[in-house]
Structure 1
């Protein structure tokens, strides 16, 4: 409430008159600035420390490898951001990646058509996203439970489609999708750049993006305001499925096969990157720039551990710690916004 709109006799809340700990407009603006820039500062400090302490971290070859290594998480994070902004979660993305890759590989092997295989893989992911969206938005099933069930079911479909084994691909043209480059930059990195630009615009500059944040902030209020909440949620999950399906096709191209066992645990990395980037687990808050920085932090830490030959079981501990810290930081941000 601005000073001009306050009832007569009610003093303006400012730094001088506010009780200790009260969230005044000045403090709110300062906290908002810290919230937006803090993760960037963390990344800059982390990058500087790793550059100074980890051998070969700052080499051109390693930086290119780092960017390529985060393309799978980054490609899915742009739509996971929308899912989390709704106040929902999707645990089925890793299984969708495997399923889409197997479907694309199987179709390409049987039809010898690369375009048909790519389309089938992407649509397979979109179909899973549609099922997720209908279960969550129309049947009101908790997204954690619904996508956990789909995670298991879709992984099973991947094994059934491939007869329990990896599907080799003989069409070499398909390998260009994941292994080709333009202007010295590989296609997976280009696809990430396009994804961040496209979905950043969708979130920030379109009515759909604003509606997603409104639904995530208060679903019932959005419904009363006339927003098609069910349709918005289904649309977001379909987008999640399509983009994840394309990520699975891209991964199959890079590996030269469709593997039903691939990407186990990927969903935790994607969610961690989003939460690190400032996306609230309770919905209503998301920025594409924050998600980008979150993805880079996850990639930089993983790359540094690989360069330092950190044993695998320690890597599990560190990744789990990062996820826990991200959740605690999200809780801290929410408590500050509630003051």
Structure 2
């Protein structure tokens, strides 16, 4: 009798262990399965989805959000948010385009675009870290200010007639792979090394996990916060350069609502809005899911208004899943 009960208990424990492992697997890698299901569904509904021309267009489109989302991941890991990335993107793109007109120096234009994003990101970081202003408020203010600077700098007009070298940033390719895809891979690799293989990366997780404990441990919380907003601004500047190159002009109205797609990619990818827990590869997959969804709905002729509804629902569902996981 006792032996039968012990055997039943062992069987129950084994079953429970298997259940926990399965739950852990789906918690960690369910996002990949979700992307696979999305790809299969869209392939069935639209035969053109997997065409080489559409895939090329998809990766060019998603490059902007991937880059923005990488920077956003650093910010959200510290329990912050950056609502200004769309406006910073627009300002950086306008600055870069203004120096790339005619026979302008492409290298100098790119540096100026990156520098503009870095400066605005640093301002965000100082306001949050030194001014003790809530990230939501600080970056909301920057969202409005940077958009205003963009219209002032450009006088509200597009900047076109860009140099061929500058245009090749988005249209060129290397080894048959579009340059924006190479940029995605480089940015992802650098961010991965920075976050998971440096002392700074450990500080980012520590500050997001428990800011007071991080201070007690001797971590420079203010420096860490300023740094993550600098990274977000710098990558927004890079995205602005790529976008202005892709559309062959610096557009003052570009980047509107791009912050929503970036936040959605980060949250869908499994990074917690509560800070201290997240993964860059998840952000990459999350951005791909957003891009695939946008592309697929366009191919199916779904109204852009409904696309916004779908993305909003996905963000809410992702947050609910994150809260349940926590």
The verdict on a shared fold, with TM-score over 0.5 as the criterion, is yes
Cα distance in 1 for residues equivalent to 2:51 and 2:195: 34
- The total of aligned residue pairs comes to 313
TM alignment of 1:169-180, pairs within 5 A: 169-180=161-172
- Give the TM-score, by structure 1 length: 0.88
Quick check: 1:117 aligned with 2:109?
yes
User: Which of residues 150, 159, 184 in structure 2 aligns to 1:192?
Assistant: 184
The C-alpha deviation readout for 1:176-205, integer Å capped at 9, x for no partner, is 111110011111111001111111122222
* Aligned CA-pair RMSD: 1.9
For 1:183, the equivalent position in structure 2 comes to 175
- Give the TM-score, by structure 2 length: 0.91
Cα distance in 2 for residues equivalent to 1:69 and 1:219: 36
Conserved 8 A contact 2:97-2:249 = yes
User: Which of residues 111, 122, 128 in structure 1 aligns to 2:120?
Assistant: 128
Instruction: Report the 3-state secondary structure (helix = DSSP H, G, I; strand = E; otherwise coil) of the residue aligned with 1:109.
Output: coil
Conserved 8 A contact 1:219-1:229 = yes
Conserved 8 A contact 1:55-1:307 = no
The C-alpha deviation readout for 1:154-195, integer Å capped at 9, x for no partner, is 000000000011111342221111111001111111100111
Quick check: 1:250 aligned with 2:242?
yes
Cα distance in 1 for residues equivalent to 2:230 and 2:241: 16
Cα distance in 2 for residues equivalent to 1:299 and 1:90: 20
Cα distance in 1 for residues equivalent to 2:39 and 2:118: 36
Q: Which moved more, 1:138-147 or 1:38-47?
A: 38-47
The C-alpha deviation readout for 1:8-50, integer Å capped at 9, x for no partner, is xxxxxxxx7xxxxxxx999876654332111111112222222
TM alignment of 1:14-93, pairs within 5 A: 31-93=23-85
Conserved 8 A contact 1:81-1:279 = yes
Residues 170 and 297 from structure 1, CA distance in 2 versus in 1: closer, same or farther, beyond 3 angstroms? Answer: closer
Conserved 8 A contact 2:102-2:162 = no
TM alignment of 1:222-233, pairs within 5 A: 222-233=214-225
For 1:325, the equivalent position in structure 2 comes to 317
Cα distance in 1 for residues equivalent to 2:120 and 2:323: 30
The C-alpha deviation readout for 1:250-299, integer Å capped at 9, x for no partner, is 11111111111012000000000110000100101111111111111111
Cα distance in 1 for residues equivalent to 2:255 and 2:159: 16
Cα distance in 2 for residues equivalent to 1:134 and 1:89: 14
Residues 170 and 296 from structure 1, CA distance in 2 versus in 1: closer, same or farther, beyond 3 angstroms? Answer: closer
User: Which of residues 267, 277, 288 in structure 2 aligns to 1:275?
Assistant: 267
For 2:295, the equivalent position in structure 1 comes to 303
Cα distance in 2 for residues equivalent to 1:55 and 1:109: 40
Cα distance in 2 for residues equivalent to 1:168 and 1:243: 23
User: Which of residues 274, 285, 293 in structure 1 aligns to 2:277?
Assistant: 285
Quick check: 1:219 aligned with 2:207?
no
User: Which of residues 117, 128, 131 in structure 2 aligns to 1:139?
Assistant: 131
Quick check: 1:156 aligned with 2:145?
no
Conserved 8 A contact 1:76-1:240 = yes
For 2:255, the equivalent position in structure 1 comes to 263
The C-alpha deviation readout for 1:221-266, integer Å capped at 9, x for no partner, is 0110111111011011111111110110111111111111012000
Cα distance in 1 for residues equivalent to 2:257 and 2:282: 22
Cα distance in 1 for residues equivalent to 2:75 and 2:161: 33
